[in-house]
A and B are shown apart, each in its own frame.
Chain A
Amino acid sequence: MGYEINEEKVFNSGHAACPGCSEALALRFILNTLGKDAIAVVPPSCIAIISGPQPLSSMSIPVYQTTLEASAASAAGIKRALISKGNNHTNVVAIAGDGGTYDIGFQALSAAAERNEDIIYICLDNEGYMNTGTQKSSATPSMAFTTSTPAGKLSPKKNVPEIMVAHNIPYMATATTGYPDDLARKVKRAMEIKGGLRFINILTPCLAGWGIPDSAGPKTSRLAVQSGMYPLYEVENGESYTLNYGPNGLSVADYVTTQKRYRHLLAEDIELIQAEVDHSWERLQKKF
């Protein structure tokens, strides 16, 4: 494994995440890579819960809990204030869920990207509003069950990674918790590239919302990559694509049959998703 545990421990034990939570795992890799010279901006989300019940915090850095629609704007404001005070070194990192990124915070994010604000924006994408009881977000994939899509979602997942690439930001990457070394390397890369908005979308399987065992987070995240549902890649300056991990021969069926949110699928439904995945992968491959 290329990932080395940062003993600085910016992320602390005793937090309130569910047992086996992938978001907590992602936070560990992100925060310990960022180090203590950072300020986090967190909107309402599981991340807000995990960051700690007041007056305690699981993160040994300043955390600003903002409103659900304003993560990118808040982070940009903090960064500009730091710069005006002569601090050019502290990383300001917005860490939001997919609801706060794909839906409610999207306007602020797109605007910050358009202005190319000097912040890192990380989306912990668990494909739904899991914190409020598993409602559908625009990150929820086709046919997945949520409490607001009881028969399965009718539209495909919004492709925010490519939308962010289209803003021509200096860095966009997809990552997931089953590949800690890759994830940590991408956070490091985002820190190296300064002076613009860097966006990382991290797939974090939700144990309760997806219907998988407590121990299956990393494994499910790898199945997402290996089945082609979620390729790991990075893009610099909106055009330079690098593939890190793509599908390796596993099928969509290998991925969806381990999750209860797909329990209602028929064989032909799985074939439809497979066709959608094949198509997306074909399109993405042309860019490398």
Chain B
Amino acid sequence: MSGTVKRVPSIWTTGSTDILNTGTWRSAIAVHEKRPAPCYGVCPVDGDIPVWVQQVRNEKFKEAWQTLVENNPIPAAIGRTCHRPCEGACNRTDFDGAVSINALEQYIGDMAIQEGWAFPAPSVELDQKVAVIGGGPAGLSCAYQLRRKGIQVTLFDANPELGGVLRYGVPEYRLPKKMVAAETQRIVDLGVEVVTGRKLTGADVEELERDYSAIFIAFGAHEPKRLSQFSKNDKRALDGIAFLRSVRLDAPAELGRKVVVIGGGSVAMDVAGSALRLGRQTEILALEGREVMPAPEDEIEDVIEEGALLIDGAMVKTVEDVSGRLLLHCIKVELDQNVLPGIIRPIEIAGTEFILEADTVILAVGQDPELTDWKDRVQVAKGMVKIDEDYRTSHAGIFAAGDVASTERFVSTAIGDGKRAANCIARHLGQLVVVEDAAVETKEVTFEDINTFYFPNQEPGERDKVDADVRIAGFAEIRLGLSDEQALNQAKRCFSCGSCVECDNCSIFCPDMAIIKDADAPLYYKVLEQYCKGCGCCLEECPRGAMGVKEEKK
């Protein structure tokens, strides 16, 4: 050895591992994606519920309203009258109770009225004109959506005021008139020409076709169904919707001392509630058992609290007129399970006969559309205007939706149909309408997709209800809107299924630092493909199922 010393370098490290491409290890990569929430899947207006609830949570109230009115121009009204399929589908239901979505909708709808928020004017004005016949939920929704696209709209209604069933059906104590007036006015202010007090019929079609490129009929269903046991001329046997209308016009029809309401739907409950407020002893006779009555459970509960007697699973067989009073000979029934859906066949239970006495009977057993004036213009099937999947009737250029063409008699269904019909009409007029349907692209978020570790139990909270003895004294609204605090608490309960809220979990739990926040990324984060090893921790730790996996073939 000639005295040479081998020098050991003091630093051996020449660089960072970040030049190593560990992305080659994986066979699948996680992707951020917006997935449909179950509430969205069942919403009749296709409302983007997780998005606007999140905006409420962030106290971006006006943005929440703007998201809401994309699909539903009257949230204050629907926030009081919707049958709430969203709450039934809510992933939180089996955890600690559904989010009170409907109450939140009312909260935002009321705030918009109070703050005077208006719809922005259409960005274009087109020459095309559409006649909308019927100023109820379907007509209002369609007129609104057409105007937003710049199409000229004339809205015809037979009544002096707009709102349809919301104005002339649903009682004041469930939906104050002033809310309907404010929300319909807001639509009118978008530049809708309104012709009230004019009832159009099939005979007007030629005239309309001269001035308008398309006609939309949505005048509802106003022909009450009758029971053969009651004579049409008997003043003691009223029709439910006519009675509700008389109450709404502040000229209630005359009632005897004791009222029997026949029916098990929302109209029957509204009739019973109104009769109670007019000081009448009220009984309700429903064909279905309470669990399967068409009226929502809370509406049934309301009238029972207010003093109505509910006799469910029973029907009237014969009626006897005894010194001015009606004696209803009734019998308990059960419903035949072996029939097609939509058909109701009661089976009498022998030996359960009973008698109800009534001074007035109010029939609330459904309505049909009045189509006598229209049936030589448009094809009618099963008592309704026949439409195809694009809301087209048999007459070219005439479209229809709402109760006039559907057996799904819900106000929010009518709003949704009005919106979709407007898109079809716009397409018919040559407009390009692109409808994004998230549901067809990605799988709906289920409860199993939710990482419940990140969601502590929080009791559900509904709108406070006025005490029954107070509410029975008049027609004042019975449910108090949520307070600011209640609304925020409710919004915080939302899992935001499938909608990223930028919680950073995906990024925090990545052992490879392969997910970074990126303001330019469509869903806030970028996956660094050169590093991602495909472990799936981000997917597992996403609290709300807003990520998916993309298989990679190499």
Counting CB contacts under 8 A, is A57 at the interface? yes
Partner of A14, one of B19, B508, B539: B19
Counting CB contacts under 8 A, is A196 at the interface? no
Contacts of A222 in B (CB 8 A): 453
Counting CB contacts under 8 A, is A253 at the interface? no
Contacts of A5 in B (CB 8 A): 504, 507-508
In the bound complex, CA of A21 to CA of B22 (Å) = 13
Counting CB contacts under 8 A, is B13 at the interface? yes
B35-43, B213-221, B529-537: which lies at the interface: B529-537
In the bound complex, CA of A180 to CA of B504 (Å) = 12
In the bound complex, CA of A100 to CA of B26 (Å) = 31
Partner of B17, one of A12, A28, A219: A12
Counting CB contacts under 8 A, is B8 at the interface? no
Counting CB contacts under 8 A, is B51 at the interface? no
Please encode chain B, from 83 to 110, with 1 for each CB lying within 8 Å of some chain A CB and 0 for all others. 0000000000000000000000000000
Inter-chain contact B531/A13, CB cutoff 8 Å:
yes
Inter-chain contact B14/A14, CB cutoff 8 Å:
no
Q: Which residue of B lies closest to A207 (CB)?
A: B535
Contacts of B511 in A (CB 8 A): 17, 19-22, 24-25, 28, 217
Inter-chain contact B533/A20, CB cutoff 8 Å:
yes
8 Å CB contacts to A: which residues of B277-301? none
In the bound complex, CA of A55 to CA of B536 (Å) = 29
Interface size bracket, A side = 35 or more
Interface size bracket, B side = 35 or more
Nearest chain A CB to B513's CB is how many angstroms away?
A: 5
Counting CB contacts under 8 A, is A216 at the interface? yes
A19-B509 contact, Cβ under 8 Å, with A56-B14, A56-B15, A58-B17: no
In the bound complex, CA of A199 to CA of B453 (Å) = 28
Please encode chain B, from 14 to 29, with 1 for each CB lying within 8 Å of some chain A CB and 0 for all others. 1111111110011000
In the bound complex, CA of A16 to CA of B531 (Å) = 11
Inter-chain contact A25/B514, CB cutoff 8 Å:
no
In the bound complex, CA of A138 to CA of B33 (Å) = 44
Counting CB contacts under 8 A, is A259 at the interface? no
A214-B15 contact, Cβ under 8 Å, with A13-B512, A19-B25: no
8 Å CB contacts to B: which residues of A122-163? none
Contacts of B444 in A (CB 8 A): none
Nearest chain B CB to A246's CB is how many angstroms away?
A: 15
A1-B512 contact, Cβ under 8 Å, with A13-B18, A13-B531, A14-B531: no
Counting CB contacts under 8 A, is A260 at the interface? no
Inter-chain contact B20/A20, CB cutoff 8 Å:
no
Partner of A24, one of B14, B16, B504, B512: B512
In the bound complex, CA of A84 to CA of B15 (Å) = 29
Inter-chain contact B16/A60, CB cutoff 8 Å:
yes
In the bound complex, CA of A82 to CA of B20 (Å) = 33
In the bound complex, CA of A218 to CA of B535 (Å) = 12
A14-B12 contact, Cβ under 8 Å, with A180-B508, A215-B539: no
Please encode chain A, from 45 to 68, with 1 for each CB lying within 8 Å of some chain B CB and 0 for all others. 000000011111110100100000
Inter-chain contact B16/A58, CB cutoff 8 Å:
yes
Inter-chain contact A15/B512, CB cutoff 8 Å:
yes
Inter-chain contact A52/B503, CB cutoff 8 Å:
no
Partner of B537, one of A53, A54, A218: A218
In the bound complex, CA of A216 to CA of B535 (Å) = 9
Inter-chain contact A14/B453, CB cutoff 8 Å:
no
Counting CB contacts under 8 A, is A3 at the interface? yes
In the bound complex, CA of A15 to CA of B535 (Å) = 14
In the bound complex, CA of A215 to CA of B14 (Å) = 32
Contacts of A216 in B (CB 8 A): 540
Inter-chain contact B537/A20, CB cutoff 8 Å:
yes
A3-B13 contact, Cβ under 8 Å, with A56-B19, A217-B537, A219-B540: no
Contacts of B507 in A (CB 8 A): 5
Partner of A54, one of B12, B25, B530, B539: B12
11 pairs, CB–CB < 8 Å, chain A vs chain B: A13-B22, A13-B512, A13-B513, A14-B20, A19-B534, A20-B533, A28-B511, A28-B513, A55-B13, A217-B537, A219-B453
Give residues in A with beta carbon < 8 Å to B.
1, 3, 5, 9, 11-22, 24-25, 28, 52-58, 60, 63, 180, 213-219, 222
Give residues in B with beta carbon < 8 Å to A.
12-22, 25-26, 453, 503-505, 507-514, 528, 530-531, 533-537, 539-541
